Amino acid sequence: MTALTELFARTRAEGRAALIGYLPAGFPSVEGAIDAMRAMVEGGVDAIEVGLPYSDPLLDGPTIQEAVDRALQAGSTTQDVLDTVHAVAVTGVPTMVMSYWNPIEKYGVASFARDLADAGGAGVITADITPEEAGEWLKASRAENLDRIFLVAPSSTDQRIALTTSAGSGFVYAAAVMGVTGARTEVAPAARELVGRTRAATSLPICVGLGVSSGRQAAEIAQYADGVIVGSAFVRAMLDAESAAEGVDRVRELARDLRSGVAHGSRNR
């Protein structure tokens, strides 16, 4: 049993959705990111995605791109990502890496899997690789008992959803919208339908991300999904802060608002 399997078993027993938060490693600094992620946990986030900064983030909107650029300009490395995972995982929450494929391949697929497992990592969300192309990663991650989280989107056919979910583990990342990441004022109407189609293909937990920015939106998604994923809103809270300390306070408060929303929505399942 993996850390993510245990998490979703617990949240299901509690009758609620899980709250998952994202921040890139190295922003505003390595230690600053760790402090912010720990604050997110204090605010009620159940699992953390540690973003691996990459120079060509095809799926990331301007908010996350700005933070990633700052991390790269400051010299953020893959080792910093692994160190961040270790520092956050000791809080007891499942800690994943969110990454594009190129940095993992450059690091060495088997080496990355081994070093992530040694750091206490729970798995990897691979943003730009399909199961058909992921043979080396499937082998390496299984050897280290790491979960493999793939994405499905509103444009995914039922056949594609079945193929993707059969190769994954931990949970399925259901992208609520087509396009890049970024906070939005409303939950995309396609999200609920996508969750329903995905649930017909797998018993894995299904988590909805892309665009969630408030407790109200989190409550809406928690009514039908197993997890709510929030990224850009946490990053924006850090970007808008006048100091790293203020950023930590802002993400903690945002986490509390989102957790409250998740709890409210879960009661209306």
Write out the two tokens for 5: 């399997």
Q: Where are the alpha helices (DSSP H) in the chain?
A: 3-13, 30-43, 62-73, 78-89, 101-107, 109-118, 135-143, 158-167, 190-199, 215-222, 232-240, 244-266
CA 221, CA 17: separation in Å to the nearest integer?
Answer: 9
Task: Print the domain residue range for 180.
Answer: 3-266
Helices 135-143 and 109-118 pack at an angle, to 10 degrees, of 30
pLDDT at 207: 97
Question: What is the C-alpha end-to-end distance of the chain, expressed in Å?
Answer: 27
The pLDDT score that the predictor gives to residue 86 is: 98
When divided into structural domains, the chain yields a total of: 1
Burial of residue 30, with CB atoms counted within 10 A of its CB: 0-12 exposed, 13-18 middle, 19 or more buried: buried
Active site residue 49: yes
DSSP 95: E
CB 133 within 8 A of CB 98: no
| Cα 182 from Cα 178, distance rounded (Å) | 11
- How would residue 61 be classed by pLDDT, with cut points 50, 70 and 90? confident
Residue 179 has pLDDT above 70, yes or no: no
Residues 225 and 64: their CA atoms lie apart, in Å, by 24
pLDDT band per the 50, 70, 90 thresholds, residue 60 = confident
Which of 41-45, 97-101, 125-129 has the least mean pLDDT?
A: 125-129
d(CA 182, CA 200): 28
pLDDT of 257 reads 96
d(CA 230, CA 224): 16
Question: Given a cut of 50, is residue 136 above it in pLDDT?
Answer: yes
Which of 179, 192, 178 shows the shortest CA–CA distance to 228? 192
* CA gap 194, 202 in Å, rounded: 12
- Calculate mean pLDDT across residues 175-197: 67
pLDDT at 187: 53
Give the active site residue among 31, 35, 42, 49: 49
What is the CB neighbour count within 10 angstroms for residue 155?
10
With CA atoms as reference, report the closest residue to 206 among 177, 171, 175: 171
CATH of the domain at 152: 3.20.20.70
Residue among 35, 60, 83, 147 flagged as catalytic: 60
Mean pLDDT for 136-152 is 97
